[in-house]
A and B are shown apart, each in its own frame.
Chain A
Amino acid sequence: MTRALAPRFWVVHLVGVLALVVTGALGYWQLESWHARRAAERVDLTTLTPVPLGEVMGPDDPFPGQDVGQPVEIEGTWVPDGTIYVSGREHDGRDGYWMVTPLAIGAAADAPASAQQASALPVVLGWVPSPAGAPAAPTGAADLVAYLQPTEGTGQVDDDPTDDVLPQLRTADVIQHVDQDLYGAYAVSREGVDGLPAADLASLPDVSTFTALRNLLYALEWWVFGAFAAYIWWRYVRDQLLQDDAGPDDGPGDDGPGGDADDGGGPGVVPVEEPVSEPALPSSV
C-alpha cells in the first residue's frame, strides 16, 4: 500500500482525484439543473397577488416562461369582432368550447382609433357548450384579473379556417381574426365574463416524467464516467506494482505485435493486461 504512494505515482493520483472531482461535480451540476427545471415547472403561481400585465410582459416580448399561470390585471377595450371559439375544451366532464375575445390592452373605449393600434391579448371569457349558445361578445372597456398562459401550438390543423372555431389558441390562427398585433400569450379570466363558467386552465404546471430527463441521464452518465476513471486509476497503479514485482526487465509491452501468438505479459504477471500507460508503440507498423 505504501508503495502505491511513492512519489512517482503522485501525478497519477492527482489526475485520478481530479477526474473524480470533475466528473462528480459535473454530475451534481446536471442533477441540480434536473431538480431546478422540474421545480420551475411545478410552481403554481395562480394563487399569487395579481400584478399589472405590463410588469410581466410587453406586447412584443416572448412569453416569460417562469410566469405561467401568473394572475395579471388587464385593462383595455374589448375587440368583439375578434371573438373566436376554441374547440375540445372540457368543463365538468362535458366537452365544449372556450369563448375568447381579444382585449386591446390600454386602449380607451371612447377612442376606436387607439383600440386599432393597441396590441391585443386574447382573453378566455369562459366555457360554452357550443358557439351557437354563446352570449354576445362583450364590448366597451374592461378591467379584469386573468391568468397568463403561453399560446398553444401542438401543430393541430384547423380543418375549417373560415369559421370562428379553432382547435387551439395559437397566435398565428387568432391573428386572422383581428386587425392588430397580438401579445405572445393569452389569458384566462379568473371569473367567467358575463356569467359564463370560468374556463379551466390549460397549462397549469404539470411535471411530466420526461421533463429535463436529459439532465438526469447526464448526471448519471458523469458518475459512471467517474467510476470508470477510478477503475483505470486503480488498475494502472496495480499493474505498475505487479510489473515491479515481476522484475524491471520484464515489461509486458516488449514483445512486438507481429511476434508470437501469445502476446500476454511476462511470466510473472499472468492475470495482468498491458498497463495503460505502456508507451511501447509497435515500432514498425
Chain B
Amino acid sequence: MKKLFGAYRVLAFIVGVLLAFCALVAFPAEHFAAQGSGLQDFGQKASIMWAVHGWVFIIYVVVAFFLARRAEWSIPFTLLVLVAGLVPLLIFYVEHVVTQRIRAEWAHELDLQPAG
C-alpha cells in the first residue's frame, strides 16, 4: 500500500505536469502562434511530449488501478482517478483528494495517525 501510494503520487505529478505542458503550452504554441515563428516551431517540436504523456499515463493507469483495488475504491471513483490523467490540471485536484482519502482510511498501513 505504502509503495503503491507513493508511486501513485509521483506518477500523478508527472502526468499532471506533462499534460499541463502539452495542453497549455505546446498545443497553443503549435496552433495559435504566428506561422513560421520560433514559438510555433517550438510548439511543433514539443508536441512529441504528447506521446511521452501517453506512455507515462499507461503506467499511471496500471498503478492507479492496483491502488484502487487495494484501497477498495468504488468503480466511479476509480474511473474518476483514471480519467483525471486526461483532463488538464484535474489530476492535481484528484491527487489531493486521493491523498486525503488514503490517509484517512488507511492510516494504519501508512504508519500515520489518521488525519484530523
How far is it, in angstroms, between the C-alpha of A210 and the C-alpha of B46 when the chains are bound? 12
Q: Secondary structure of the A side of the interface? A: loop
Q: A257 contacts B105, CB within 8 Å? A: yes
Cβ contacts under 8 Å, A281 to chain B = 72-74, 77
Cβ contacts under 8 Å, B106 to chain A = 257
Q: Does B88 contact A (CB under 8 A)?
A: no
Q: Does B96 contact A (CB under 8 A)?
A: no
What bracket does the count of chain A residues touching chain B fall in? Answer: 20 to 34
Cβ contacts under 8 Å, B99 to chain A = none
With contact pairs A228-B62, A232-B65, A285-B105 given, residues A278 and B72 touching in the complex (Cβ less than 8 Å)? yes
With contact pairs A253-B72, A279-B74, A279-B75 given, residues A285 and B104 touching in the complex (Cβ less than 8 Å)? yes
User: Which residue of A153, A258, A277 is within 8 Å of B75 (Cβ)?
Assistant: A277
Cβ contacts under 8 Å, A210 to chain B = 48
Q: Does B55 contact A (CB under 8 A)?
A: yes
How far is it, in angstroms, between the C-alpha of A276 and the C-alpha of B61 when the chains are bound? 14
Beta-carbon contacts under 8 Å, A241-285 to B: 253, 257-258, 261, 263, 273-282, 285
Q: A217 contacts B70, CB within 8 Å? A: no
Which residues of B are at the interface with A, using a C-beta cutoff of 8 A?
Answer: 36, 38, 41, 47-48, 50-51, 54-55, 58, 61-62, 65-66, 68-75, 77-78, 101, 104-106, 108-109
